[in-house]
Amino acid sequence: MRVGLIIATTLLLLGAPVVAWADDSGDVGARDNGGGTFSGQASWKQHEKHRKTRNTRTKTLKKVVLDKHTDEQRAAAIEVMCREAREAGISCEYTPPKRNGHEPARLMLDLDAIARTLLTRIQLPDPTPQIGPDPKLNEWKMAAVGYPLWLWTAGPHTVTDRVHAYGVTFTLRATWVSSRFDMGDGHSVTCTSSRPFTKDAKPGTPSPACGYTYSKASLPKGNYTVTATTNWRITWSALGMHGSMPGSFTGTRQLPVGELNALVVG
């Protein structure tokens, strides 16, 4: 019976059948990356050509049956990958193919752990919320209630990187999907496009892509904490295999918001 694997963390092997087992999805965490925190999630489902009524879930260890064309260089790289992965506490087993080519190679990987290590390697743009017009540049040093603000995060929206992990070179490509801005006043905005504020914009013009207008001041009690979470689709490829996983990158900033009329009268 041929089994297809459909996963947010997808493992495919060109020209090779794949057999896989998976349990529930889990969060993937990573280190602070220049002003933000990074997290992601790997999830997957098992589908059968002739589906049975039962729902079987086991450990997140994947067995990949490699085709008979696995060459010596690739086999050596996989052996190095598995050895270094095991030293790092990641489950990995490799059975080389027989010399006559009739028996395919078998590779067993803990993709949960591999995904976590990959997420820590790619350098994504700073997710600190950008706000325009910049409140730091006006005479009151704050944003004003009722005044439209433009929201965005630093680019680019596509990042490609090559990283060396477990004896293997991985090609990683991250594509920006959306950004969520939690504005600190109990409201949030999710944007699938963005445009930085420019000095050419007419004062008081709402952002054509992603913006917000405060209806309540934070001052004099304090500032609003604005949190931006950028969501990415990260794909990887190595040793003829490739897959993808979602990830998110979060940054914050403090934003004072006041009532201009109240300040003028006072």
Radius of gyration over alpha carbons of the chain, in Å?
A: 24
- Give the mean model confidence (pLDDT) for residues 244-248: 87
- Has residue 223 got a pLDDT over 70? yes
- Can you tell me the distance from the alpha carbon of 245 to that of 232, in angstroms, rounded to the nearest whole number? 9
- Residue 121 in domain: no
Residues 153 and 256 in one domain: yes
Per-residue confidence band for 52, with pLDDT thresholds at 50, 70 and 90: very low
- Has residue 162 got a pLDDT over 50? yes
Token representation of residue 37: 């925190």
Given this model, what pLDDT does residue 67 score?
64
Residue ranges making up the domain that contains 79: 3-25+43-113
Residues 140 and 255 in one domain: yes
Residues 236 and 144 in one domain: yes
Q: At a CB cut-off of 8 Å and minimum separation 6, what does 27 contact?
A: 39, 40, 41
Least confident segment among 31-35, 94-98, 164-168? 31-35
First to last CA, the chain: 78
Token representation of residue 3: 């089994």
Q: At a CB cut-off of 8 Å and minimum separation 6, what does 85 contact?
A: 91, 92, 109, 110, 113, 114, 166
Token representation of residue 106: 């078998």
- Residue 124 in domain: no
Residues 107 and 139 in one domain: no
Given this model, what pLDDT does residue 61 score?
66
Specify the higher pLDDT residue, 260 or 32. Answer: 260
- Has residue 263 got a pLDDT over 70? no
Question: Letter for the amino acid at 233?
Answer: R
User: Which residue shows structure tokens 């439209």?
Assistant: 148
- Residue 14 in domain: yes
Quote the mean pLDDT of the chain: 75
Least confident segment among 41-55, 56-70, 177-191? 41-55
- Give the mean model confidence (pLDDT) for residues 144-167: 92
- Give the mean model confidence (pLDDT) for residues 221-238: 94
Indicate the number of domains in the chain.
Answer: 2
Q: How far is CA 168 from the centre of its chain?
A: 21
Residues 94 and 137 in one domain: no
Specify the higher pLDDT residue, 12 or 167. Answer: 167
